[in-house]
Amino acid sequence: MELFNGILAVKGITFLMFSVLGIAALGYILGRVTIKGISLGTAGVFLVALLFGCIFHEELTGQLVTNIKDGTGSIVDKVSFVDSALKIVDNIGLILFVTAVGFIAGPNFFGNFKKNFKSYVVLAVIIIFSGGLACAGCIAVGRNFTDLSNDEFTALMTGILSGALTSTPGFSAAKDAAPDYQGAVSVGYGIAYIFGVLGVVLFVQIIPKILGANMAKERELLGVTAKKAEAKKKESKLIEMDDFGIMPFALAATLGIIVGAFKFKNFSLSTTGGCLLVSLLFGHFGKIGKVNIMPKDTTLKVFRELGLMLFLIGAGVSGGAKFAEYFKAIYFVYGIIMTIVPMVLGFLFAKYVLKLSLLNNLGSITGGMTSTPALGTLISTAGTENVASAYAATYPVALISVVLVSQFLIMLF
């Protein structure tokens, strides 16, 4: 018996369920380990998933089942566990997380965005532009010490940039711009993604400790109140579609996927951008007529955490499989440079030029770095979900910028 036209067999589904649950259990245990106040939190799941991918990379990248056969019975298309099952886990997790973040940020987003509009736009551009410059510098130096052709090396480095910024749209744009070297782009993305996740996750925890930040005071300086959200909660006469608000959540996610699928001159918001946009609007308005379209807080928190967990498992296992097969130390170093340079420059620019408060600064950094896992960590570190507004405001600008920079680098070099 097979499911989805042979893409996932029963054994594959069983292995998938066992893997996801086992990685989650071990990952949360690892995430609880705290050293001098610093912990991985949910990102512990990513490390365990990465290790799992490294150990079982041969099984994961091999053929899962025969997908299509021609008249002679020969295999026409091979489908690996990484390309099928884990991609589903990854995408479902991303949709759940981003949609939940949009709903959470929605009630306060537009007021905060209007207040700090220029800061968010400038900061996102600074982060992505500095990442692009770091990538260009690595290309200029590194091409003298590689056996790859100039075009292939450039494709690889652009893939590293998209991985360092954990940007799936940037990754897709780089592959589209370098159709003859998509494998090189994928390798670079897979290797750099590892530090791209862990680097920002650790950064948003370490910086407050280095600065000796008083989180209670920083939460006040964030300058965002929940009065609007509280006012909406008082409207008790609204019609509830279900007890938890799953229906409006599912509707927002569905519409977001549709919006993200539209392309304009090879650019699209992607599933991530589409779900974020629609859920922000749902969260902002809170109702349609007398129908409540705002899920309960508990529902949003559960979906946010579940989505982040599934996303990290899917990305971690597939990244680990590629990491084991293609890893070279110098590629990892390039990824570290392309993560640290834009992150540090962005933070310093926001602090000393834009004069943003610490939590607004760090929230903007997670959005500018398009780092979904880091936002989850920052919410725990800050003790407030209001930092999601800064992430949501910076993210769209960064999304567009990283797509343009990725394409420009390939054309330039």
CB 175 within 8 A of CB 378: no
For 56-147, where are the E strands, in sequence order? 63-69, 75-80
* 263 class by beta-carbon count within 10 Å (0-12 exposed, 13-18 middle, 19+ buried): exposed
Handedness of CA 234, 239, 240, 246 (dihedral sign): negative
pLDDT reported for residue 301: 87
Strands (DSSP E) found in 51-197: 63-69, 75-80
Average pLDDT estimate for 345-368: 92
Band (68; pLDDT cuts 50, 70, 90): very low
Q: Looking at 178-327, list the stretches that DSSP marks H as alpha helix, in order from N- to C-terminal side.
A: 182-210, 215-221, 227-233, 246-261, 270-285, 297-326
pLDDT at 76: 41
| Residue range 141-165: mean pLDDT, rounded | 88
Closest CA to 123 of 407, 351, 277, 341: 351
Look at residue 9 in the predicted model and tell me its pLDDT.
54
Please, what is the angle between helix 297-326 and helix 372-382, to 10°? 130
Check: CB of residue 259 under 8 Å from CB of residue 269.
Answer: yes
Lowest-confidence segment of 112-126, 264-278, 299-313 by average pLDDT? 264-278
For residues 1 and 10, the answer to whether their CB atoms sit within 8 Å is: yes
Question: What 8-state DSSP symbol labels residue 63?
Answer: E
How far apart, in Å, do the first and last CA atoms of the chain sit? 50
Instruction: Please check the confidence at residue 362 and state whether its pLDDT lies above 70.
Output: yes
Q: Is residue 355 a contact partner of residue 345, using CB atoms and an 8 Å limit?
A: no
Q: Which amino acid is at 325?
A: E
Residue 66 has pLDDT above 60, yes or no: no
pLDDT of residue 26: 92
Q: What's the whole-number mean pLDDT along residues 205-227? A: 79
The mean predicted confidence, pLDDT, of the chain is 80
Measured CA to CA, the distance from residue 398 to residue 140 in angstroms comes to 24
pLDDT at residue 167 greater than cutoff 50: yes
Residues 351, 123 contacting (CB under 8 angstroms): no
Residue 161 contacts residue 331 (beta carbons within 8 Å): no
pLDDT at position 3 is 40
Confidence band for 267, pLDDT divided at 50, 70 and 90: low
Chain mean position to CA 78: 28
How does residue 4 score in pLDDT terms, banded at 50, 70 and 90?
Answer: very low
Q: Taking residues 24-46, what's their average pLDDT? A: 82
Whether pLDDT at 339 is above 90? yes
Kind of pairing, strands 63-69 and 38-39? Answer: unpaired
Percent of the residues in the chain that have a pLDDT greater than 70, as a whole number: 83
Mean pLDDT of 304-316: 84
Residue 305 to residue 309: CA distance in whole angstroms: 6
Q: Which residue has the tokens 């680097």?
A: 199
Q: Which stretches within 143-223 are classed as H helix?
A: 150-164, 168-177, 182-210, 215-221
Residue 310 near residue 137 (C-beta atoms within 8 A):
no
* pLDDT confidence bin for 229, thresholds 50/70/90: very low
CA distance 2 to 11: 9
pLDDT value for 65: 44
Rg (CA), the chain: 21
Q: Give the pLDDT confidence score for residue 336 in this predicted structure.
A: 94
Residue pLDDT, tens place only, 128-139:
999 999 999 999
Determine which of 37-51, 79-93, 134-148, 247-261 has the lowest per-residue pLDDT on average.
Answer: 79-93
Q: Which of 54, 19, 374, 24 minimizes the C-alpha distance to 191?
A: 54
Q: Which two tokens stand for residue 164?
A: 């360092």
Would you place residue 39 in the very low, low, confident or very high pLDDT band (cuts 50, 70, 90)?
A: confident
* pTM assigned to the model: 0.70
Q: Which residue has the tokens 């910028």?
A: 401
Which range of 36-40, 43-47, 120-124, 343-347 scores highest in mean pLDDT? It is 343-347
Q: Which of 79, 24, 80, 27 lies closest to 56 in space, CA to CA? A: 80
Residues 9/169, Cβ–Cβ less than 8 Å: no
Q: Mapping DSSP to helix (H, G, I), strand (E, B) and coil, where does residue 8 land?
A: strand
CB 373 within 8 A of CB 168: no
User: Please, are residues 125 and 349 in contact by the beta-carbon 8 Å criterion?
Assistant: no
Instruction: Quote the longest CA-to-CA distance of the chain.
Output: 71
